[in-house]
Amino acid sequence: MSYYIGIDGGGTKTDFILCNEAGKILAGRRYGSASHKQIGVRGVVELLRGGIRGLLEEAGIADAVKTSGDAPFYGCFGMPMYGEFPEYDRQIEADIKRELAFYHIRVVNDAQAGWAGSLGMQPGINVVAGTGSIGFGVNEEGKTAKAGGWSEFFSDEGSCNWIGRRTVEYFAKEADERLPKGALYYLVRAHLQLTRDMEIIEKIEEEYAPSRDKMASLQLILKEAALAGDVAASYLYEEAAEELSLIVGGVYRQLFDERTCLVSCSGGLFLAGDCILVPFQKKLAEYPVTLIPPRLDPARGALLLASSFGDGKLTAEILEKTENRIKSEVKICI
């Protein structure tokens, strides 16, 4: 019996999942950041070590692995920023190979894990709009390409973090009447418990700006404002849709050369439903693509990649037949 470890790393949370070749989910855990910018190279390796140990203990196979070691393990770590800092990549991969060799862990960019899950390892493009944004695709020849996701300071367009900042911008415009006051203005005031409009400066700079996650959470206000008929809020979703379609277009032009392809989307922004999906589908109409819902989450995408790097026994079809879902089975760990 083969075992597969899928690790979906992120800047704020990291999901670990363990399954066997029958697709049965044996354990799932959630930890904090997997970014070497935040926790350092050693921190990343220790995160993997602790996460894997936690999976084995939860599955009740830790002792068996120690004593027998016969069952093959294959792992894949979707690492944030992989490929952007080659020196750190080499250090992390070398440490993983030296210290966790038994688990045969391959490192890829986290966007690749998102593609593998959302499209079940099939050719196409996955665009992620969560805290950040990025597009990743693979064509029929196996060529890969990315677009977007350069930096939170000058990229991540269309992401929840980007929309959170724009929400604050539009609040300011409605507050000083550059734009008509609408639901967005009143909802921001209520959510941030402002007694004066100017209080938003201190609130944002001290509480929200230091945290990408917290800034990204403001897009929930935007959804409420858009549903209440705020014109500026609806326009912001159209802007986000335009930016995300540009990301898809960037990957498409690198890989598909006027051929048709599938596009899948994932990430917290798309939980806004029709607010973002309707304008996004309209923007995608200029490309010969078909938008489909994601088949599997990024952690399961990492499982599929782990299998593809190993014995190839695990498939998307096998995983789709399992009734478990990582949202219900994952344990939050400190």
Q: Residue 321 maps to which CATH number? A: 3.30.420.40
Question: pLDDT value at position 247?
Answer: 98
Output the pLDDT for position 275: 96
Instruction: Evaluate whether residue 34 is within a structural domain.
Output: yes
Backbone angles phi, psi at 148, to 5 degrees: 75, -175
Average pLDDT, consecutive stretches of 10 residues, N- to C-terminus, the chain (334 residues): 94 92 95 92 97 95 71 93 93 96 95 96 95 94 94 86 95 95 96 97 95 89 95 95 98 95 93 95 96 95 97 93 54 51
Residue 300 lies in a domain: yes
pLDDT at 268: 87
What is residue 323's predicted lDDT score, i.e. its pLDDT?
52
CB-based contact 17:325 (threshold 8 Å): no
Range of the domain at 101: 3-110+296-332
What distance in Å separates the CA atoms of residue 193 and residue 222, rounded to the nearest whole number?
16
| pLDDT for the residue 326 | 45
Residues 194 and 322 in one domain: no
pLDDT at 301: 97
Task: Please check whether residue 93 is in contact with residue 107, taking contact to mean a CB–CB distance below 8 angstroms.
Answer: yes
Count of CA atoms in the C-beta half-sphere (13 A) of 4:
27
Same-domain check for residues 26 and 144: no
pLDDT at 151: 78
Burial 112-138 (b: 16+ CB within 10 A, else e): bbbbbbbbbbebbbbbbbbbbbbbbbb
Q: Are residues 86 and 175 in the same domain?
A: no
CB 135 within 8 A of CB 251: yes
Do both 165 and 223 map to the same domain?
yes
What's the confidence (pLDDT) of residue 330? 52
Residues 205 and 287 in one domain: yes
Amino acid 69: pLDDT: 60
Tell me how far apart the alpha carbons of residues 73 and 96 are, in angstroms, rounded to a whole number: 14
Q: What is the pLDDT of residue 67?
A: 58
For the chain, what is the domain count?
2
115 is a domain residue? no
